[in-house]
A and B are shown apart, each in its own frame.
Chain A
C-alpha cells in the first residue's frame, strides 16, 4: 500500500480527547446506521464502519473524497453539530498500513484504557455487524474487520494480555472460582445494599448465581436490591444465614467491624469443614482481620484485591511484545491480500496469465501444423498477440478508470477469482 492508499481512519480516543468532547462525539447504536448512510451519500467514503465506545469514536473507511481525513472530520462535526476547529486538534488520522495496525491493536485491547480488556472485541465485532446490516461494508472493510476480530481473539488465547482479572470485582470472582469451581451452584450472602453491593449483586446474577441473600440494616433497601432474583433478609438474620453462605461479600459503611472471628469459627464448624470466602469491600474494614487466621476461612479486603489487580496488570504488560508480534503477522497477511487487489498487480497477473495461455496454445498449434510457411507463422503469432491485447482492453479500463476505490477493489477481486490468478501464483 503506497502513496495514495484509500484506506483511512479518523478518530478520537481517551488519550487525546477530553471526556466532554468525547461524549458529544459518541455515536449511539441507533444512529450509527444513519451516519453510515449519510457518509456514503455525501460521497466522503465508499465503505465505512464506525467503532464508538465510551473511550473512542473511530470511523474507518475506504475514501472517495480528495482530502478524506478532512472530509470525514467535516462530516463528524456536522453530524454532531459541533464546530469543526473544536475537534480537529484532538483528532488522529491514519491511512493504509497505519490504519490497519491501529484497528488490530484496538481489537487486541492494546489501545484500551485497561490493557487487554475483552469488551472492545465485542464492540468491534458489533461495529462490523451494524455496518454490514446497513450495507456500508464491502470487500475491504469486511475482510479488515473480520481479520481484526480474529487476531484480537488470537492474542487473547495465545498470550496473557487478556487473561488475569484487573478490576476489583474481576479479581474477587477469580478468587471465588479458586475456592469453589461452580459459581452458579454456590450460596452468596451480600451484606450492604449500596453502590458497591449493587455492583457485586449484578456481577453474581450475570455469572448465573442462583442463591443470593442480601442483608442490610434498612430492610427496604435490601428488598430493592434483591428484587431481580435473590432474597432480602433482615439485619438480625445475619448470624443465622452465615453458615449457609459459601461466599460472603461485605460492603457497608459501618465504622466498626460487623463480623468477628468467633462468629466465623462457629459458622465454619456448622459447615462441617466446607471453606468460606469473605470479600470485605468496606472501608474501614467490615470483617475482623483475625478471621483470616481461621482454617477454611479466606478473607480478602479491598487492599488485597487492589494489590492482586495491580500485579495481574503488570503480568499483562509483560506479554505486550508477544501480542504485538502476533498482530504484525496478521497485519502482514491482511496487507498482502489487500496489496494484491491494487490495480497494477492485478493487471500484471492478468496479463501474465493471458500471455502464458497464448504462448502455450501458439506452440501447440504450430507443432501440429508442420507444413506452415515461416511468414504464415509470423502472421499467426501476431494474430494471437492482438487477440490477447484486445481481450485485455476491457478489464484494464474497468479497473483503471473506476473512480470509486471500493468498487475498484471488488472488480480486482472478481477478476482474480474468475481467472484464478491467486491459484497460479
Chain B
C-alpha cells in the first residue's frame, strides 16, 4: 500500500468528519455529531496505517524530517482532540479543530520528500521517544491554542451581548476553560518528558546539554506552567487564554526560527 494514497484517503475522511461536525453544529443534531466522531475515528485509523506504511519504507520512525513530522503532528492532534471530546463530553469544538489537522496533513502530503539515509545517532528508542513526546506536546498545545481562541471569542460575545448562532453553539466558558487546561496539562507533561530525554541524548551524543532549543523550550514550559497555575495566581480565564496564545506564539517561534537558525540538531537537515 502507498503511504501517500492512504494519507489522501485519511485527508478525505477528515474532510467528511469536518462536514458532519459543521452540519451538526448548524442543525444542532446529536446524530450528525456522532457520525462526525465515528468518521473522525475512521480517519485516525487510516492515517495511522499510512504512518505505519511510511515507517516501513523509511526503516525508522515516520517523522525523521519536517514534512513527515507534520503528518504525525496532525495525527496526534486528532488523537488529542478525540481524547478531549470524550473527556469533556463536548463535541462542538470539533469544526474549529479538525481544519488544523487537515492543513498539517495536507502540507505533509504535498511536501513529501524522498527518504534519506538515517544519520548517526538518530536511530534508537531514546531519540524516537524524544521526538514523539515533543510532537505530542506541540499537538496538545496547538489544541489549547484553538480552545483559547474560542474562549476569547465566547467571552467577547458575552460581553458585547452578541448572542447569535455561534454563541448558542459554542460551549460554556467554564467548559472551554477546562478543556484548554486539560490540553495544556497534556502538552506540558509531554514536552517536559521530551526535554528530559533530549538532554540525556545530547549529553551522550554531543557531550554537552546546552542548545538554544533547550532554552526556548524552558521558556515555553514556563509560560504554560503559569497558565496551569492561573487559579492559584488568581488570574481570570481570559488571562489564562491570553497566556495560552502567548505560549503558542513562542512554540511557533521555537519550532521555526530557533530550529532553523539557532539550534544544533533541530533543523531536520
Q: Which residues on A are within 8 Å of B, measured CB to CB? A: 157-158, 163-164, 174-175, 177-181, 268-269, 272-275, 292, 295-296, 298, 300, 304, 307-308, 311-312
B27 shortest CB reach to chain A, Å: 7
Residues 171-195 of B contacting A (Cβ, < 8 Å):
171-175
Whether, in the assembled complex, B239 has its beta carbon less than 8 Å from a beta carbon of chain A, the answer is yes
Known interface pairs A158-B27, A308-B161, A312-B163; A180-B237 also in contact (CB < 8 Å): no
Q: Beyond the given A163-B28, A268-B236, A312-B163, please list 9 additional residue pairs across the A-B interface where CB-CB is below 8 A.
A: A157-B29, A175-B158, A179-B174, A269-B234, A273-B236, A274-B231, A296-B238, A298-B159, A300-B161
**Residues of chain B with a CB closer than 8 A to A307's CB:** 161
Whether, in the assembled complex, B60 has its beta carbon less than 8 Å from a beta carbon of chain A, the answer is no
For chain A, what secondary structure do more than half of its interface residues adopt (helix, strand, loop), or is it mixed?
A: helix
Known interface pairs A158-B27, A178-B158; A295-B238 also in contact (CB < 8 Å): yes
A5 shortest CB reach to chain B, Å: 36
Distance of A300 Cα from B159 Cα, bound (Å): 9
Known interface pairs A158-B27, A180-B172; A272-B231 also in contact (CB < 8 Å): yes
Is the CB–CB distance between B171 and A273 below 8 Å?
A: no
Write 17 A-B pairs (CB below 8 A) sorted by A numbering. A158-B27, A164-B168, A174-B163, A175-B158, A175-B163, A181-B171, A272-B234, A273-B230, A273-B231, A273-B236, A273-B237, A273-B240, A274-B231, A275-B236, A296-B238, A298-B158, A312-B163
Whether, in the assembled complex, B103 has its beta carbon less than 8 Å from a beta carbon of chain A, the answer is no
A24 shortest CB reach to chain B, Å: 41
Residues 3-49 of B contacting A (Cβ, < 8 Å):
27-29
Distance of A385 Cα from B173 Cα, bound (Å): 78
Whether, in the assembled complex, B232 has its beta carbon less than 8 Å from a beta carbon of chain A, the answer is yes
Minimal Cβ-Cβ distance residue in A for B27: A158
Distance of A269 Cα from B161 Cα, bound (Å): 24
Minimal Cβ-Cβ distance residue in B for A164: B168
Q: Which residues on B are within 8 Å of A, measured CB to CB? A: 27-29, 154, 158-159, 161, 163, 167-168, 170-175, 230-232, 234-240
B87 shortest CB reach to chain A, Å: 14
Q: Which of A272, A298, A312 makes the CB contact (< 8 A) with B232?
A: A272
Minimal Cβ-Cβ distance residue in B for A176: B172
**Residues of chain B with a CB closer than 8 A to A177's CB:** 172
Q: Which of A163, A179, A274 makes the CB contact (< 8 A) with B158?
A: A179
Closest 3 CB pairs of A and B: A181-B172, A296-B236, A295-B236
Is the CB–CB distance between B234 and A178 below 8 Å?
A: no
**Residues of chain B with a CB closer than 8 A to A179's CB:** 158, 172-174
Is the CB–CB distance between A178 and B154 below 8 Å?
A: yes
Is the CB–CB distance between B167 and A178 below 8 Å?
A: yes
Is the CB–CB distance between A273 and B159 below 8 Å?
A: no
**Residues of chain B with a CB closer than 8 A to A268's CB:** 236
**Residues of chain A with a CB closer than 8 A to B175's CB:** 181
A315 shortest CB reach to chain B, Å: 8
Minimal Cβ-Cβ distance residue in B for A299: B159
Is the CB–CB distance between A273 and B168 below 8 Å?
A: no
**Residues of chain A with a CB closer than 8 A to B231's CB:** 272-274
Distance of A349 Cα from B235 Cα, bound (Å): 76
B238 shortest CB reach to chain A, Å: 5
B229 shortest CB reach to chain A, Å: 11
**Residues of chain B with a CB closer than 8 A to A273's CB:** 230-231, 234-237, 239-240
**Residues of chain B with a CB closer than 8 A to A180's CB:** 172-174
Distance of A272 Cα from B234 Cα, bound (Å): 4
Is the CB–CB distance between A304 and B161 below 8 Å?
A: yes
**Residues of chain A with a CB closer than 8 A to B28's CB:** 157, 163
B154 shortest CB reach to chain A, Å: 7
B231 shortest CB reach to chain A, Å: 5
**Residues of chain A with a CB closer than 8 A to B170's CB:** 178
**Residues of chain B with a CB closer than 8 A to A174's CB:** 163, 168
Distance of A353 Cα from B102 Cα, bound (Å): 60
Distance of A272 Cα from B167 Cα, bound (Å): 25
B168 shortest CB reach to chain A, Å: 7
**Residues of chain A with a CB closer than 8 A to B234's CB:** 269, 272-273
Distance of A312 Cα from B164 Cα, bound (Å): 8
